[in-house]
Amino acid sequence: MSENALLTDLDSNTGAQELDLEKLGRQRPTVSATRWSELGFCVAILGSMLMTEYFVSGFNIILPELTRELDIPPGAQTWPASVFSLVAGAFLLPLGRIGDIYGSYFVFNLGMIWYFIWCLVAGFSTNYMMLIVCRALAGLGASAFLVGGLMLLGKTYRPGPRKNLMFAMYGAVAPIGFFTGIFFGGVSSQSLSWRWYFWLGSIIIAFVSIVGLLAIPRDFHVDKPQHNDMDWKGTATIVPGLLLVVYAITDSSNAPQGWADPRIIATMILGVAFLAGAYVVETRYSAAPLVPGDLFSPQYMKRLIVAMFLFYGTFGLFLFYSSFYIQLVLGVGPLLTAVWYVPMVAGGLVIGAVGGFTLHLLPGQILLCISGLGNIVSVLLFALMPQNPSFWAYIFPSMVCATIGIDITCTVSNIFITTSLPSHRQGLAGSLISSLLFLGIGFWQGVGDIVVEHTASLGLRQK
């Protein structure tokens, strides 16, 4: 065979392999025997993300009624809202390791059942301490099923358009859940009782849990790699370190002396000490660290982690303060507030439907630049908003830009991280993604509270 003929044959074989890989990336996963089983899988995974956002966004709507009925003191009013994200973010890494050891089916469904129990019990709260405990325990359940859900997505779908579509839809349901939470929170506050906000959400969680138990593949029957044991030393240092540091940042604005308050100083020093101890344990003494060094070895991983921490922080500030601005400054009621967030929902659906088949055509760097621009514009429009703004000139484009920012960020980063890490590290991938989400929101919301506290003299609108 001549050299030219050999090269032609090699090129044709390479092209055929690329076509085969693209074809496999469009096909239904092998673990889903029928369309109905894949549909059930999608309902369970997407529904879990939706219900996470439901209990984050809508809670701010019912908080004024909760404060009155449960007699929550001013210094504790932020805790029923923030403790959920605080606990969820702190336990993601150890739960990711448990998922790698025992399987994603176990972690996902156990988390959903646990979430259902404590969201239901929260509706029966008789005092604010009971409510805070229920919210904290619900955050533990959310931590488990978010890790398990991302593990399942990363393992089940091959790289390709079908996987892109699933991750795009996973990001798109976040604003849908946000809207749903605000809507049901408004209905519960105005027409029913705040307790029905929890009970209605629990009904939806029960449905999603049943679908997950029936439709999610139980095991992939793969051999577990060595050195994938539980890292108890890392857990004992990382979890309290994250809890204490985020607590200090979040509660500093409510402390009598701010950052000079002895309680805040002691908490921050103790948290930093725990995290410093975690670094020593993870790098020197742990045989199977929760945060292995090779996590950062893929190209662009370090800078992507920093970018995600900032992106999610910006989005968290937008969600939290835009709803307060619309209701308190513009004087819009809860139900109309929910209607004003419809462009975010519609934009998320469009990006999810179209982006799954087109995002692979553009480089990830360009997509993240587009999403970053969307995040910047969404918050600037609120910052520059006049006294009596036009909905179409300010609110509408801000909502559209916000969904561009969060949906593209989620899709690109989730696909990159789950594809870059091997199958036995999908629990780590899921915990990393969700940790950046919750810790980014929690950290920067704490910073936002500090800014609001120090600009209180400027008036409600300016602060």
DSSP string, 99-114: HHHH-HHHHHHHHHHH
Tokens of 349: 């659906």
Q: Is 33 helix (H, G, I), strand (E, B) or coil?
A: coil
pLDDT tens per residue, the chain (463 residues)?
Answer: 554 554 454 444 444 444 454 555 555 566 565 777 778 888 888 888 888 888 887 787 787 778 788 877 766 666 777 788 788 878 888 887 887 777 778 888 899 999 999 999 988 988 888 988 999 899 889 988 888 887 887 777 766 677 777 777 777 787 788 778 888 888 887 778 888 999 999 999 999 999 988 888 775 444 455 445 777 888 888 888 888 887 787 777 666 666 677 888 888 889 889 888 888 887 787 777 777 777 777 777 788 888 888 888 888 788 778 877 887 788 877 778 778 888 877 777 777 666 656 666 667 678 888 888 888 888 899 888 888 888 888 888 888 888 888 777 777 777 777 777 766 666 677 677 777 877 787 777 777 777 777 776 666 656 5
Right CATH for 35-218+288-448 from 3.30.1340.10, 1.10.3720.10, 1.20.1250.20, 3.10.310.70: 1.20.1250.20
Q: Are 94 and 270 in contact (CB under 8 A)?
A: no
Residues 6+ apart with CB under 8 A from 453: 253, 258
As to burial, measured by CB atoms within 10 angstroms (0-12 exposed, 13-18 middle, 19+ buried), residue 223 is exposed
Residues 6+ apart with CB under 8 A from 375: 311, 314, 315, 318, 401, 402, 405, 406, 409
Q: Pick the closest to residue 375 from 308, 324, 330 (CA basis).
A: 308
Alpha helices in 123-231 (DSSP H): 128-156, 161-191, 194-215
- State the DSSP code for 287: S
Domain assignments of the chain as residue spans, ordered by start:
35-218+288-448, 231-287
pTM for the whole structure = 0.76
